[in-house]
Amino acid sequence: MYHKLEVKNLSAWFNEKQVLKDVSISFPSNNVTAIIGPSGCGKTTFIRCLNRMHELVPGARVQGKVLLDGRDVYRDMDAMEVRRKVGMVFQKPNPFPNMSIFENVVAGLKLLGVRDKKVLSERVETKLKEVGLWEEVKDDLRKSGAMLSGGQQQRLCIARALAVDPEVLLMDEPTSSLDPASTAKIESLIRELKEKTTIVIITHNVQQAARISDFTGFLYLGSLVEFGETKKIFESPKNPLTERYVTGRFG
């Protein structure tokens, strides 16, 4: 099995506070890997280390390696290349409020210097179809992305992330602020997207991890307690702490 992304002995700090401790995980290509764990265990910090967003926080630092196709994202690649290849979707939908739906989707492409209107228009249609939003917005592409519903906004943000054809897509609790119907649409979309990209999703919802992921890692107090195939993690975990967490007897 090919591992698109590999994390080796990753530790992270905010000033003197250590929030990740020697985490090592290999993410299989074209699979969904869920990272679960209670609030405050380091999940968001971990995922932000994978595309060098952690370093944007004053006082933040990282030790260890994050390898994308064998290249160290901290030593062998510049931050812009990393963030183009490793896209990010955040917990709260964040369409650019002063941009139209069209401009939201192509924002990343324009940053990369793409100006051809035909190319941009084709990419907008392709990516909005990919996230199941095209039929809902095709007549309103010039309207503000902020005018959409929460679920539509999150699918727009996923389309924006996909527009630059990332090789890895990071998702930080992408359905936590959505209603059940919108959540179901996003989960269905995630299952489809893994055909083209490698997905890492953080979720506080263990049932969601069980539904949509192929592999699961359990993070607790900044350390990786257990990692493996989702079915094994949920049905026959090796660590008693993992078993307590996935069965809801934690805390």
Q: Give the chain's domain count.
A: 1
Q: Is residue 160 assigned to a domain?
A: yes
Q: Is residue 177 assigned to a domain?
A: yes
**CB proximity list for 41: less than 8 A, separation 6 or greater:** 219, 220, 221, 222
Q: Is residue 8 assigned to a domain?
A: yes
pTM > 0.85: yes
Q: Which among 26, 20, 87, 18 is positioned nearest to 52, based on CA atoms?
A: 87
Per DSSP bridges, beta strands 168-172 and 198-202 are parallel
Q: What is the CATH number of the domain that holds 94?
A: 3.40.50.300
What pLDDT does 1 receive? 78
- 61 neighbors 107 (Cβ within 8 angstroms): no
As a whole number of angstroms, the distance between CA 208 and CA 138 comes to: 30
The β-bridge partners of 10 are 23
Q: Is residue 251 assigned to a domain?
A: no
pLDDT in tens, 65-92: 999 999 999 999 999 899 999 999 998 8
Task: Residue 188: give the domain boundaries.
Answer: 3-246
Q: Is residue 123 assigned to a domain?
A: yes
Q: Is residue 217 assigned to a domain?
A: yes
Tens place of pLDDT per residue across the chain (251 aa): 789 999 999 999 999 999 999 999 999 999 999 999 998 889 999 999 999 999 888 999 999 999 999 999 999 999 989 999 999 999 888 899 899 999 999 999 998 888 999 999 999 999 999 999 999 999 999 999 999 999 999 999 999 999 999 999 999 999 988 889 889 999 999 999 999 999 999 998 999 999 999 999 999 999 999 999 999 999 999 999 999 999 988 75
What pLDDT does 250 receive? 73
Using a pLDDT cut of 70, give the percent of the chain over it: 100
For 33, the token pair is: 């890997």
What pLDDT does 251 receive? 58
Q: Is residue 31 assigned to a domain?
A: yes
Q: Is residue 124 assigned to a domain?
A: yes
pLDDT in tens, 196-212: 999 999 998 999 999 99
Judging by beta carbons within 10 Å of its beta carbon (0-12, 13-18, 19+), is residue 200 exposed, middle or buried? Answer: buried
- 181 neighbors 187 (Cβ within 8 angstroms): no
What pLDDT does 177 receive? 83
In three-state secondary structure terms, 34 is strand
The torsion angles phi and psi of 182, rounded to 5 degrees, stand at -65, -40
